[in-house]
Structure 1
């Protein structure tokens, strides 16, 4: 049976987590062994605590309990949309105090490196063979999932596209701008932001708090550098101190100047709502924002448009929400059952219909998805793929933490040289 446990103490750095910890009853006394279970439940840790993310998780849990009626889904997660530093710090505390959830959400790719090195998650390569996943996941995805030694440590529930610009065509039309929202480069985008600002649109570009700012920075780097040089930032072949990076950071500074000063207090979905309501013309965010725009009968191409972010047309900036299996759990069969549902055709269909992403499986009919998602299928299958830094595909958690700290500092001081130096140092 599942035992209710509480965390006794956390190091001084966890003071910032106090609200999260008080909201989450599940924990353990440091040193406790995992509770004995009889395949009656599976504890699943995610940051999907509200909105469409929670709806998607609930639908996946519904499919799970239909496929595995003898096992109860237990939502063991916390607040923190997008895998914020708070939710990751709390998860890390649980892993280090031997209180792991059976399975937890993490972004596929380099984000898993720290968990692998720490011995916190298990090699799932045998499960891939058992379920035949190598035959139904595309090679381009498998290349993103494999470690250098060819092992696989997570099962993706979806494929998200990060490099997207969302726009309100009514606002653009009112001010004589192209309602398609498409921009070949950042310079032309910045010029239209200036036009909107001069015309009285106070905040032409909506921006939210920490990780959405890193997300914005990522798309600016991709738009300025191109796919190959962008990839080089993460594998060491592009010089962080080069003039192209400086130019990108100057563009990033300009973009922030056109945004709302309330950004640090705003979640990503509230920034999206600013575009829906016509308070802003644009927002740069991944396709998990789709349900915000498509709600209440709003129509794609009429009430909102979504296109590749400026300068990134023909490139797919990849991330995937995926699930691991923790080490140190005694009920591995229940965890495997959850991963089976996550990877199943029905699970991927139902989850992604809600989430705005596309399935990882190639045998799910694109015709069952909306018009935006069909464009995502097309791009993923045909365009060069790069890895998202803000969402864990390009760099491990330790490096992303440094990048986020640099972005937070820059939001306060606007010092491009300092930001560039900090980003260069993060790669060391």
Structure 2
């Protein structure tokens, strides 16, 4: 997606221009220069280079990363920052690069990733930053308790949250819904949503439900459908390994009805950023995604309430589908002092405002001024504070560990990518958890 980027040519812009294809090799070489006593100097030459890996290379992510790292450089001009963005594959390229670096005993200073169960895959490779970051920065009291708990690994406090996305939003194009005669506020159940999809199909030329059939997209849509139809308790029982087969089956039946009748013809060949363009252009009515898509609308200058809108996915009012982004601290750190300074900054007010206003996410830090956030994000901040339930995301590392998530995606890839095998998918999900 295009975005309103600064025309100033910075180190960050040059690094992004290097492209994802050559980044992994470049990082391996660069890693030999950044660690320990032989690290390159920062500022006055008495420090090590701070190397940070992340996957925010386009659209809302690039804008947010530029704001974040630009603010860090302004606050810490004495630290030599080496920001390395690695795009592509829904963070798969980033995750693979991180894994390779850790296995080669060549860790970066920090890397972006999900906290929670996702941290289990790095057992033995992470460090504890409780005293240097969490205590010194006062983060335990400043951040929401859910975020504090999710940033702890077997090593101790190993991550710092940078923001939270809500996973139970349903976004829509205002004009398309008006043409279809659909009132989004009237959608209180999945049955009502399906009726609305029928109206869009009948009354307009737009795609009713914009979808990418990437397996993680299917998984997150399955999760929100289960929350909608079966409720919070059934969802939590499932991710904890004690799910009800009937609830899982019913969820697949409903999801199969939606995917089999109302999505775009090219769903198997497009990613979520491409299909989200159909919402912005008026070629589609609804899309379910995390509210990173709101970041795209915001950065494109589309007006909330007039051109696009959002409701809670029908049946999930009172819930905040919890997703958190964080920066993670490798244990054998090449620049521990610089890394601690960066992580204290990431958990602070300036970073949380600068990053999240562009990313379409919200601070996990509480009592942050909302002056720089638009009306949608301000409402989301209030919902986060007042939600009755905060079910953790299934598709983004909080609800289950990386291996289980990968197995669930494998089930979807094998059984639920048109034709939609409800029996096979149900058995696969039950066996996996």
> How far 1:295 sits from its partner (Å)?
4.2
Cα distance in structure 2, aligned partners of 1:75 and 1:182: 46
Cα distance in structure 2, aligned partners of 1:243 and 1:160: 29
2:419 equivalent to 1:416: no
Relative to structure 1, the CA distance from residue 24 to residue 141 in structure 2 (aligned partners, 3 Å threshold; closer, same or farther) is closer
Paired position in structure 2 for 1:325: 329
Relative to structure 1, the CA distance from residue 303 to residue 20 in structure 2 (aligned partners, 3 Å threshold; closer, same or farther) is closer
2:190 equivalent to 1:183: no
Paired position in structure 1 for 2:24: 24
Give the secondary structure class of the aligned counterpart of 2:417: helix
CA contact (8 A) 1:157 1:360 kept: yes
Paired position in structure 2 for 1:46: 54
Give the secondary structure class of the aligned counterpart of 2:51: strand
Relative to structure 1, the CA distance from residue 415 to residue 330 in structure 2 (aligned partners, 3 Å threshold; closer, same or farther) is same
Paired position in structure 2 for 1:91: 98
2:121 equivalent to 1:114: yes
Cα distance in structure 2, aligned partners of 1:81 and 1:370: 29
> How far 1:181 sits from its partner (Å)?
5.0
Cα distance in structure 1, aligned partners of 2:427 and 2:55: 31
Instruction: Report the TM-score when normalising by structure 1.
Output: 0.88
Match of residue 64, structure 2, among 56, 63, 72: 56
Relative to structure 1, the CA distance from residue 292 to residue 21 in structure 2 (aligned partners, 3 Å threshold; closer, same or farther) is closer
Paired position in structure 1 for 2:78: 70
> How far 1:418 sits from its partner (Å)?
1.0
1:350-379 alpha-carbon deviations (Å, 9 max, x no partner):
111111111121131134321111221121
1:200-226 alpha-carbon deviations (Å, 9 max, x no partner):
535210112332222212211211221
Cα distance in structure 2, aligned partners of 1:23 and 1:225: 43
Paired position in structure 1 for 2:137: 131
Specify every segment of 5 or more residues in structure 2 that has no aligned partner in the other structure, as ranges: 1-18, 42-46
Give the secondary structure class of the aligned counterpart of 1:156: strand
Paired position in structure 2 for 1:346: 350
1:161-213 alpha-carbon deviations (Å, 9 max, x no partner):
111100112111112221x3552111111122123223353521011233222
CA contact (8 A) 2:24 2:97 kept: no
Paired position in structure 1 for 2:9: none
CA contact (8 A) 1:46 1:78 kept: yes
CA contact (8 A) 2:51 2:83 kept: yes
Match of residue 157, structure 2, among 152, 161, 177: 152
Paired position in structure 1 for 2:250: 247
Relative to structure 1, the CA distance from residue 298 to residue 28 in structure 2 (aligned partners, 3 Å threshold; closer, same or farther) is closer
Cα distance in structure 1, aligned partners of 2:353 and 2:277: 26
Paired position in structure 2 for 1:359: 363
Cα distance in structure 1, aligned partners of 2:173 and 2:364: 30
More moved, 253-262 vs 318-327 = 253-262
Moved over 4 A (4+): 31-34
Paired position in structure 2 for 1:406: 411
Give the secondary structure class of the aligned counterpart of 2:52: strand
CA contact (8 A) 1:108 1:319 kept: no
Relative to structure 1, the CA distance from residue 299 to residue 285 in structure 2 (aligned partners, 3 Å threshold; closer, same or farther) is same
Cα distance in structure 1, aligned partners of 2:404 and 2:252: 18
